[in-house]
Amino acid sequence: MSWYIEEQEPVYLDYNATTPLDPSVKTAITAGLELWANPASGNPIALKAREEIEKARKSLAELLHVTGDEVIFTSGGTEGNNWVIRSAVEKFKREHPNQTPHIICSAVEHPSILEPLHHLKDNGEIEISVLPIDPKTGQITASDALQLVTPSTCLVTVMLANNETGVLQPISDLSDFVRKASAKHDEQRLCPSKTNFFGIARSIKFDSNAIYSGTTVLLHSDATQAIGKIDVNLAELKVDAITIAGHKFYGPRNGALILRSKYTSDILPWMHGGGQEKKLRSGCKTFYASSGSACHSGAISPVLLACGISKEMAERTVRFSFGRETTNEDVDRVVKELKAMMFLAKHGSSLMNVINAGPVPGF
C-alpha cells in the first residue's frame, strides 16, 4: 500500500476537538434563520422564535434529566466554565469580605478552567488546591477532598470526561467527600461546642444530610466531552452545575450551563442588559452558533504530564478520537499510514524523497 493519501478522502479522527454537524441540525439551523425576530419582543414572529428556543431548551433538559428552568444557554463551554468560576468567587467575597476564596480542581482540567483559575490566583484573588492524578488510572482519588476542603472553599470543579485521555472521573464519589468535609466545617462553625455559655448541653442537632441541599461549596463538572457518549445525570453525579458545548456532540458552536434550580438565585449574572436567560445572561438569543472554545495546540499536554507521562513521551503523543461516523476501515487505514510514517522517520527519509519514491515496501 502507498503511504501517501492525497488521492483519498481524509480520515477524521479528531472528534474530541469538534464533531461535524448532524444533517438534522443543519436543517434546524436553516429553518431558524427564517425566524429573524428578537425572541424578547411581543410580535407574532418573535413569539414563534421564542417557542423554538424553549423547545430546544426542553429537549436538552430531557437529555440531561433536568427541568427547562435549569438550562441556561451560553456561547460554549468556555463561557460556562468562566461564569461558574467568577460567580463562585464574587459571591464568596460578598459574603466573606475578609477571607480569600479557595477553589479545588484536578490537575487535568481543560484550559478554560485552569487559565481563569491561574489568572485569579496570580492577581491574589483566590487560593487553589489541586487534586493529583493517579498515573495508573488517570483518575483523581476522591477521598483526597477530605483534606483539601477548607472553611473558605467556595467551588470544587472536576471534569467528568477528559478531552485527551477519555478517562472518566469519580464525580459522584468526589461529591460525597466534598459534602462530608463541608458539613464538618459547617458543624464546627454553627456548633463550636457541645455546651452553651452556662454549661448546659445544647439541644440543637446538626443534620449533615441537610448539607446536600444547602452546602456552601458549589460542585461543578465540565461535562463537555461526556455528552452523547454516556448518560449524564446531575442527580446521579450529585453536582450543582455542569457545562456543555454543542459542537462536541454534532451540534453548533454554542453551549449551556446546567444549574440546579435551587442555585439559580446564587449564581451572579454574567451579562447585564435586557434580562434574557432568567436575567443571568442578557443579550439577544440565537439559534445557530457563537464562539466559545479555548483549546490549545502545539504545546506539550499538561494532562499527560499530570498523569506521569515523561516530557519526551508527551512530545511524541498524538490524540485520536472517534465518532459515530468512524468505521473499522478508517482505523485500519490510519494504523497502516502511521506505520509507514514511523518507518520513514526511523530511516531518515525526507518527505520529498518519499513522494518521489512512491509506495513504501511492505505497506
Which amino acids are annotated catalytic? 295
Enter the DSSP assignment of 87. H
Quickly tell me which residue has 461529591 as its cell: 175
Query: How far is it, in rounded angstroms, from Cα 74 to Cα 340?
Result: 44
End-to-end CA distance of the chain: 5
In the numeric block, which cell numbers belong to residue 230?
A: 454516556
CA atoms within 13 A on the CB side of 322: 11
The answer for residues whose C-beta is within 8 angstroms of residue 24's C-beta and 6 or more apart is none
Give the C-alpha distances (Å, rounded to integers) separating 47 from 39, 40, 41, 54, 249: 6, 8, 7, 11, 28
- Amino acid occupying residue 70: E
Query: How far is it, in rounded angstroms, from Cα 302 to Cα 296?
Result: 11
Enter the DSSP assignment of 75. S
CA atoms within 13 A on the CB side of 298: 0
Nearest to 263 by CA among 296, 240, 294, 293: 240
DSSP lists the bridge partners of residue 219 as 156
Nearest to 95 by CA among 181, 177, 218, 191: 218
The answer for residues whose C-beta is within 8 angstroms of residue 189's C-beta and 6 or more apart is 151
The answer for residues whose C-beta is within 8 angstroms of residue 199's C-beta and 6 or more apart is none
- Amino acid occupying residue 42: G
